Structure formats: structure tokens, C-alpha cells
Amino acid sequence: MGGFSIWHILIFAIILLLLFGGNRFSAMMGDVAKGLKSFKQGMADEDEDKRQKYEEQRRREPPRQLRDDQRPSDTIDVTPRPSEPAAPPPRDDETR
């Protein structure tokens, strides 16, 4: 009640095919596919334009100088710290 079953969808699809015809329906789907393709291409072009603008801006800017407190130290300690040992679980005779 109130929901669409597979039969409702099939009948609706048959009515659409009768109204628009197979050839016209496939042409409409082709137009939709072309629209999606051009949309994706437009988005890719926009991303490319943004990337080019960013690269041009980076080339025009002088390189940033680090302050003394931002300069990296000569040596970096990469030795792992020993982890603290986990406490052993209490035994049954100790908990009583």
C-alpha cells in the first residue's frame, strides 16, 4: 500500500516508451550523457585554471625566509621511545 512495486515501474516504463518511442528516448539519453561529459570536462578545465593561477602566483612571490625560531635544527632524533611495560593482570589469589 502506497509503495511502488516492480509492476508499477514496468508499466510506467512501457508508457514512457510508447509516448516517446525507442529512438527518441535513446536520443534523449545520449543528450544527457553528452551533458554530463561536458560538465565533467568543464570542472576539469576549472581545476586546471586554478592550478595554473596558483603556480603563476607562486612564481611571482619571493621565497619566504624562516625566522630563527622556525629554522629546523641540524639533527633530528628519530630513535623510538621505549614504551612503558603494561602491568600484568592481577592473579586470582591476589585479589582476595
- Give the integer Cα–Cα distance in Å for 56 and 64: 16
Domain boundaries, the chain: 27-60
> What pLDDT does residue 33 have?
92
Place of cell 625560531: 69
- How far is Cα 31 from Cα 58, in angstroms, rounded to an integer? 41
pLDDT tens for 15-68 read: 888 887 777 777 888 899 999 999 998 888 888 888 888 888 888 887 777 666
Q: Is residue 25 a contact partner of residue 17, using CB atoms and an 8 Å limit?
A: yes
Q: How far apart are CA 5 and CA 1, in angstroms?
A: 10
Which range, of 1-5, 17-21, 36-40, 79-83, averages the lowest pLDDT?
1-5
Where is pLDDT greater, at 47 or 76?
47
The DSSP code for 78 is -
| Rounded to 5°, angle at Cα 82 from 79 and 83 | 135
DSSP H helices in 21-79 = 22-60
Provide the pLDDT for residue 11: 92
